[in-house]
Amino acid sequence: MPSFDIVSKVNTAELTNAVDQVSREISTRYDFKGTSAQIERQDDVVTLFADSEFQLKQILDILYQRAAKRGIDVASFDPQKIEAIGGDKTKQLINVKQGIDKELAKKIVKLVKDSGLKVQAAIQGEEVRVSGKKKDDLQSTIALLRGAKLGQPLQYVNFRE
């Protein structure tokens, strides 16, 4: 029985490369000279530091550009509220969405079941497995999910006949 898995993962090596590129650009750009602007990454959290909210927004924009060039979907980033960290310095945390949470998985399963396609969807941890008798039904399911606005980038992997 043909099947595939729906996952949501960000390539951590590409994320590291994007953060490194942003860091290099911050150190060479004229408008960041003499400021405390910097970017750090720890696991699935990217932290931006700057002297003002305007600079934070500039760094975030650079991060989005570099990530997009490296094949990372910008919808994977979840920017948090900008915080003041003393004086006129600010910081912003950006969570990187990894895996499909239970609410989104339930939404995907409901969407697949309501579509009328002859496939079954099952939640397996942080991924959803879709199986059916015909390969065409599975491809129709992928097209359906690509058209749906789910708020998180999805990848379709492990396609088996």
Give the list of residues 6+ apart from residue 6 with CB closer than 8 angstroms, or none: 100, 108, 127, 128, 129, 130, 145, 154, 155, 156
Give the list of residues 6+ apart from residue 47 with CB closer than 8 angstroms, or none: 39, 40, 41, 91, 92, 93, 94
Q: What is the pLDDT of residue 157?
A: 86
Query: If one looks up domain 3-8+99-160 in CATH, what number appears?
Result: 3.30.70.860
Q: What is the pLDDT of residue 58?
A: 92
Q: What is the pLDDT of residues 83-112, one digit of tens each?
A: 888 878 899 999 998 888 888 888 888 888
Q: What is the pLDDT of residue 53?
A: 87
Angle between helices 135-147 and 102-114 (to 10 degrees): 120
Question: How is domain 12-96 classified at the architecture level of CATH?
Answer: 2-Layer Sandwich (3.30)
The CATH 3.30.70.860 domain(s) of the chain lie at 3-8+99-160
The CATH 3.30.70.990 domain(s) of the chain lie at 12-96
Output the pTM of the full model: 0.82
Helices in 30-74 by DSSP H: which ranges?
53-69
Instruction: Give me the residues of the chain with pLDDT under 70, please.
Output: none
